[in-house]
Amino acid sequence: MIRIALGAVVLLALPFALSQFWTFIAIEALAFALYAVSFNVLLGYGGMLSFGHAAFFGVGGYAAAILLKKAGLPPTLAFALVPVTALVVSALFAALIGVFSVQRSGIYFAMLTFAFQMLLYTLALKASSITGGDDGMTGLKPPGALAQPFYYYYYALAFVAAGLYVLYRLVSSPFGFTLRALRANPRRVQYIGVNVRAHQLAAFVASGAFAGLAGSLFALSSGNVFPGWLNWTASATPIVMAVLGGVHTFLGPALGAAVYVVLEVLISGKTEYWPLAMGVIIVALVLLMPEGLSGLRRKTA
């Protein structure tokens, strides 16, 4: 409890200590923290490895962009509707993809989510009258003072905190414990009479919805969305974040997201070969740190 209060104080004070650039990066870290935790509800709790989660982050981003640019609503009203729209639209897409994907498990589930994500990616790329095609959609801006990173940070923080709270309640509910049991042994859970597929689908929809919310928050901060957000290489990002932070803790992936975002800024500022550096870091992570950063802490404690 003390640790959470301390964390809240630090997060609330952060924009006062940071330059505008780093406040912008902090917003990115917040959005990706929600993204990584929502992803980890599937992986860490449900034992379901989605390799298509960028689809929902991207759908959330596009939902926000289309609402602001194409719906013809007054800007303030459109902006106010962004979070709920992103949640609902991503949830719908997650339900559609989930219905087919949860029929399989393990690595096959990963491949199915990958496949559907690529379908959405090509749609984003080709349906240029709606999505702007290759050029994506640019010039997205929150209204008024929120256009400044300082204020938008608090706006994003409120939604990320709310999202994390809902997800936390979800994984600590009986539903969350059924999910954990499913990770350990789906067959046994089925024998007790639990509808395994329905539980997995529900987790998939919840996870996709909050990934979409995270995408919409980031879209309004960065000011644009691109088809690359839904590309398969983007789907590795939440996995790296979750594994980096540790998949067996609720907030581990959020920590992993923050570290990842900062690392990316630092490395890509130094060399154009940041993918190479990132690749080496991932290999080291996989071979040397089986429990992520939260595992390190446990070892030293």
Partner 1 sequence: MIDFVVQHLAWVQNPVVVARQLLAGISNGMLLFLISAGLSLIFGVLRIINFAHGAFFMIGAFIAVSASGLAPGGIGGFAAALLGAAAGLALLGVALETGLLRRIYRAPHEYQLLLTFALVFILGDAAKLIWGREDNSVAVPEMLAGATRALGLTFPTYRLFLIVIGIGVAAALWLVLHRTRWGVFVRAATMDRGMLSALGVNTRWLFTAVFAAGAALAGLGGALAAPIVAVGPGLHVQVIIDAFVIVVIGGMGSVLGALVASLLVGIVNAFGILAIPGAAVVLTFALMAVVLIVRPHGLFGTPE
State the CB neighbour count (10 A cutoff) for residue 117: 25
- Tokens 């690595």 identify what position? 107
Based on the shown chain and the rule CB under 8 A, indicate whether residue 21 belongs to the binding site for partner 1. Answer: no
Based on the shown chain and the rule CB under 8 A, indicate whether residue 74 belongs to the binding site for partner 1. Answer: no
Report the site for partner 1 in 256-285 (rule: CB under 8 A). Answer: 273, 275-276, 278-280, 282-283, 285
223's CB contacts (< 8 A; 6+ apart) are 138, 139, 140, 141
Tokens of 288: 């040397």
Are 15 and 26 spatial neighbours (Cβ–Cβ below 8 Å)? Answer: yes
Exactly one of 135, 290, 296, 298 binds partner 1 (CB under 8 A); which one? 290
Residues facing residue 137 across a β-bridge: 225
Question: Nearest Cα to 204, choosing from 121, 279, 102?
Answer: 102
Exactly one of 11, 14, 49, 259 binds partner 1 (CB under 8 A); which one? 49
Exactly one of 150, 151, 168, 232 binds partner 1 (CB under 8 A); which one? 232
276's CB contacts (< 8 A; 6+ apart) are none
Exactly one of 123, 162, 166, 265 binds partner 1 (CB under 8 A); which one? 123
Based on the shown chain and the rule CB under 8 A, indicate whether residue 75 belongs to the binding site for partner 1. Answer: no
Please report the sign of the dihedral spanned by the C-alpha atoms of residue 263, residue 264, residue 266, residue 268. positive
Q: How far is the CB of 66 from partner 1 (least distance, A)?
A: 19
Exactly one of 287, 299, 300, 301 binds partner 1 (CB under 8 A); which one? 287
Binding site for partner 1 (CB under 8 A): 43, 49, 51, 100, 103-104, 106-108, 110-112, 114-116, 118-119, 122-123, 126, 232-233, 236, 239-240, 242-243, 247, 273, 275-276, 278-280, 282-283, 285-287, 290
